[in-house]
Amino acid sequence: MAKSILRRFTKRFLIFVNILAAVFFLAGSYGYLLNPAYFWPVGLLTLTAFYFMLLLLGFVFFWLVIKPRLAFISVVALLLAYKPARNIIALRLPGPFAQAKPQNTIRVITWNVAQFNVMEDKKNPGVKKDMVDQVNYYQPDIACFQEMVAEDSAVKDHGHMDEFLEKLKFSNYFYSYNVKEDFWGYAHFGIIIFSKYPIINKQTISWYPNDYNSIFQFVDIVKGADTIRVFNIHLQTLRFSKANLKYIDQPTVEDQTAIRESKNIIGKFKKGFLKRRLQAERIRAEIEKSPYPVIVSGDFNDVPNSYAYYTIGKGMKNAFVEKGSGLGRTFSGISPVLRIDNIFVDDEMEVLQFNLIKKKLSDHFPIIADVQLVKK
């Protein structure tokens, strides 16, 4: 009798957990539909969608062995989220990336270079050279860097623009930065677009004059008879402190520490979701005003089922979704599933190949894509 009651209770409990996981998975997968201004915690659910997907897959196999008809709970949830799930994981085998660029294409690389690790020069004196060599190996036509640090002239050994142009083999660039974020009073900190094609127009747009992520930029480049607008963006970061990261990695049971760090981390999540919402909407407005086909690349600091990702990428093709494989993790810390760096292209363009370069020279992995304007 007692065993029978325990079995019924366990079964009902597992069904309840399965249903709850399905609800959280669907809420996280479709979290982009809800503006964080109305309910910002939905952003936290978007971060967990992949893990709930794994849990549902586990339930599918479990019920197929124990009671097959109950597997439908997870199967239905997974099918309902098929479209957004395609942005989370690309179900195709990895293929080779041809170093030789196909004819009549544009090769774009985006990379959060983490100041080219200038703060770590004494510990890793060759890292900047390794990063430059990595870019040169692929010979991109356009390079979009975030968290760039460079001097106007050779004041100190932190890299100046003439040096970067020479070493990276580019002839044109547009550097956007906030002087309030300058390092040591002379090295600018910001975002930059390098181009092998002529730049005929350029613009920096700022929104929070006193904030860390205060700008994005675009340039109009000319390739043959075509003009293309290229956006380089760096959305609001969470700015976790070392104490925050330590707590995330190794949560403590000490009451006061746990409460303090939890409040601090949740507050940073809230600020990030709300500010990225505003930034994404502003960028979307600029995209829609463009008279030319558009490429958008950069560090989104948000996951593929987020409001910011969908707002910016609406009606566009994501290079990873088109040609990538697996999870496409671009951030090396915190979680193994954070794909927060992206290259989007206009619907008038085709993605020919994509590559995620898994070399840990920055806290981000660079991504690269060959794209082509389709003549209609």
Domain end residue (candidates: 88, 117, 141): 88
Residues 81 and 122 in one domain: no
Residues 183 and 144 in one domain: yes
Q: What is the CATH number of the domain that holds 342?
A: 3.60.10.10
| pTM, two decimal places | 0.90
Residues 76 and 211 in one domain: no
Q: Structural domain tally of the chain? A: 2
Collapsing DSSP states into helix, strand and coil, what is residue 72? helix
Pairing status of strand 367-373 against strand 349-356 = antiparallel
What's the confidence (pLDDT) of residue 270? Answer: 85
Tokens 């093709």: give the residue.
317
What's the confidence (pLDDT) of residue 152? Answer: 65
Residues 79 and 116 in one domain: no
What's the confidence (pLDDT) of residue 103? Answer: 83
Please, what sign has the CA dihedral across residues 345, 349, 354, 357? negative
Residues 80 and 111 in one domain: no
Domain end residue (candidates: 37, 54, 88): 88
What's the confidence (pLDDT) of residue 258? Answer: 56
Q: Which residue range forms the structural domain that includes residue 36?
A: 2-88
Segment 100-124, tens digit of pLDDT = 888 889 999 999 998 876 655 556 6
Establish if 93 belongs to a structural domain.
Answer: no
Residues 223 and 133 in one domain: yes
Q: Identify whether the C-beta of residue 205 lies closer than 8 Å to the C-beta of residue 232.
A: no
Question: Of 241, 239, 233, nearest to 271 (Cα)?
Answer: 239
Establish if 176 belongs to a structural domain.
Answer: yes
- Using the 8-state DSSP alphabet, how is residue 116 labeled? G
Establish if 80 belongs to a structural domain.
Answer: yes
Q: What is the DSSP string of 259-323?
A: HHHHHHHHHHHHHHHHHHHHHHHHHHHHHHH-SS-EEEEEE--S-TTSHHHHHHHTTSEEHHHHH
Residues 50 and 126 in one domain: no
Residues 145 and 274 in one domain: yes
Q: What is the DSSP string of 143-154?
A: EEEEEEEEESS-
Residues 64 and 205 in one domain: no
What's the confidence (pLDDT) of residue 11? Answer: 87
Residues 79 and 111 in one domain: no
Residues 79 and 119 in one domain: no
Residues 260 and 329 in one domain: yes
Residues of the chain with pLDDT under 50: 241, 243-245, 247-248
What's the confidence (pLDDT) of residue 247? Answer: 47
What's the confidence (pLDDT) of residue 280? Answer: 94
Q: Identify whether the C-beta of residue 286 lies closer than 8 Å to the C-beta of residue 231.
A: yes
